[in-house]
Structure 1
Amino acid sequence: MIINPEEVPSEIRTNYPDEFKPMVAGRIRQRLGNFALLQNFGVNRVKLEPGSYSSLRHWHSHQDEFIYVLEGELTLVTDRGTEILTPGMAAGFAAGEANGHHLVNRSSVVAIYLEVGDRTPNDKVTYPDENLMTTPSPDGKSRKLIRNDGTPRAISF
């Protein structure tokens, strides 16, 4: 299937609790993989406005992630520190590696990148800076946000 990005809807929504929404308010995603009806992995084209984060810093228990920078400059923040990524650079994050990561646009222009992730079931996502993690629901169709010690947090998504 040929995909013209101009035909793919853009979305700015997030499932994060209200207190974290301002961090990702300038993230605009186009879900290319969903548009192509892909089942095993997702591909998103993401525009990140200056000052915005790609996500809260996180890592996945079961899912691999990969990003590829198309335009602009992004700062990759991991447990190891920060690195600048420019067009043509990429980064990968193996499932189960407890290395929290996210991208921050610290420049003055919009950056665009591709993010690719698999859709392995039963994935847990840990947000080390926020004392949060997600766990899958028994039916696998939603995720529950809890604290890292397992105590509940009043939100599911």
Structure 2
Amino acid sequence: MGKTIYPEPYASSVKGRLKRKLGDVFGLTNFGVNLTHLSPGAMSALAHSHSKQDEFIFVLEGTPTLILGEEEFVLNPGDCYGFKAGTGVAHHLVNRSNEEVTYLEIGDRAEGDEVEYPNDDLKATQLTNGVWKMTHKDGRPY
């Protein structure tokens, strides 16, 4: 439940994140739904942007900080945000509060997605079988 696909040294950056893949429980293949909890100080992911897969979040509990490119926004329960694929604008959530954050992540499963991590030497490429291949930006494997 919630194991990261990040190789080290990046895997430890999402310590404190618990992700339950609800869509997988029901065999959904066109889109995914995750119920995610962030402990105080935890982040949802490294700052990233998708080439093909849209994402949407809906905050259930807590006050995460959305980092969107160079901007930051504090979100509250009931707030939501959508991330259009292909924009190149990196995003992630950080829990800077003293309380747990709980939110839903919903994303499509468009094939052939690539994920860019502008602040880290990491690139993710989705293979035809749906598995993610993690490499350095120059293509060297981890």
Aligned to 1:102: 92
Kept after mapping to 2: 8 A contact 1:41/1:117: yes
Q: Structure 2: any 5+ residue segments left out of the alignment?
A: none
1:153 maps to amino acid: R
- Please state if 1:69 is matched with 2:59: yes
RMSD, aligned CA: 1.3
Aligned to 1:143: 132
Instruction: Tell me the TM-score normalized by structure 2.
Output: 0.93
The count of aligned residue pairs is 142
Structure 2 residue matching 1:19: 3-state secondary structure: coil
Pairwise CA distance, 1:21: 1.9
Instruction: Tell me the TM-score normalized by structure 1.
Output: 0.85
Higher relative contact order (CA 8 A, sep 6+): 2
Aligned to 1:50: 40
Aligned to 1:26: 16
Pairwise CA distance, 1:120: 0.3
Pairwise CA distance, 1:22: 2.1
Q: Structure 1: any 5+ residue segments left out of the alignment?
A: 1-10
Larger Rg belongs to: 1
Aligned to 1:5: none
Aligned to 2:112: 122
- Please state if 1:84 is matched with 2:74: yes
Kept after mapping to 2: 8 A contact 1:51/1:107: yes
Kept after mapping to 1: 8 A contact 2:54/2:107: yes
Structure 1 residue matching 2:40: 3-state secondary structure: coil
Pairwise CA distance, 1:68: 0.3
Structure 1 residue matching 2:89: 3-state secondary structure: coil
Pairwise CA distance, 1:108: 0.5
1:49 maps to amino acid: S
- Please state if 1:152 is matched with 2:139: yes
